[in-house]
Chains A and B, each alone.
Chain A
Amino acid sequence: MKINFNNRDPVYLQVVQHFKEQIAKGMLEPGQEIPSRRELAGNLRINPNTAQRAYKEMEEQKLIYTEGNSPSKITKDESVLAAVKKELVTDAVGTFVASMRSINLSLEEVMDLVKTHYDEAGEGKS
């Protein structure tokens, strides 16, 4: 696991964001165990307190759950998982649209571009 942190956003939120991306991409599966906060701090080279705070935030957002003394796991709650995906997509589209608007492209132009690129990327994959 490696994150390139920026220095201006709270590190714990960047960690949470990273987990959301991993979940949305399917790199972390529902019910999968995640590293302890100490392991996470070590892997990411961040302060253990920050790792702790990130996990607390994820628990509050119901992204992870802990049963008794066993390690924390990624949630199996479909609605949460769907919400995570939706949030990421909404964010990505929001950023994309904002940058398109800033260079004054019309919706049609954007849609054409998107279509071409989407198809190309699909062909490249197969």
Chain B
Amino acid sequence: MSATTQTTSDTLSTAGGPPLRRDPNDTQPHGARWWREIGWRHIVGVVAIVYALIPILYVVSASFNPIGSVSATNLIPTQFSLTHYESLFNDPNRPYARWYLNTIIVAVVVVSAQVFFSALAAYAFSRFRFRGRRGGLLTLLLVQMFPQFLAVVALFQLFSSVGEVFPAFGLDTLAGYILLLLGGSLGQVWLIKGFFDSVPKELDEAAKIDGAGHAQVYFQIILPLVRPILAVTGLIAFVSVIGEFLLASIFLRETAVKTLAVGMYTVLDGDRSNNLGWFAAAAVLASIPVVLLFQYLQKYIVGGITAGAVKG
């Protein structure tokens, strides 16, 4: 997904920030004309904000409401307490902190590996001309179109037998689940190749004349230049890894190895009426870092999603 996306991401790169192409002749209209031309837009905007915010406010409110059942929850909190937040950390049957940690471990390992291996492959495709390059790129594009989880049945069989031989990587192990997700190691090749292509080749050639080998060119010249972009690519991948549910629900069945997605689902599914307080607090704590990250990286993310990343 690159040619179009490459061009779109160029043209859209201002979308994240405010459009500052303000015509100097424009002045703010007043009175009735303001309402006709500008004011009604604010009304639509406010309605949209209400639609976007109600569910979020409800959950935040429920997380602070000491009464755990749903019936007592209102949009505007009438009472305030941190009971639910405390209960996240003192119930051994639903070890929220453990699940949080598991999720971070999985996401950090998988995303680092994905960005590292993708960047390696992208370098080869961007800088070398070799037999099978075109075919390789197309095959990659094709294979990438098939989500790994479509093969879930086979993956389950595969890891059942892996577990018989190497119990450390079998079902119900974080290591096995991480290994499984490493199947997506080349997931970012196309995106990163686009960035590599934009680094002038003269830089490599100059370095090669100075006696640098291909690995030095890669690690010491190109990689540092694209590091910020790799970070953003990684963060987008991060969000999709922590949201992975299908494979996790099959591979991680024991409490101690669950990720947030499956762990929270188990709790909610167990008793939908009385776990809402716990669940709301869990949802708030899990969302805050991701939401902050999104706001902070808004303009890069807009570039990234228009380049074809679809968040799960």
The yes or no verdict on A and B being binding partners is no
Chain B residues proximal to chain A, CB less than 8 Å: none
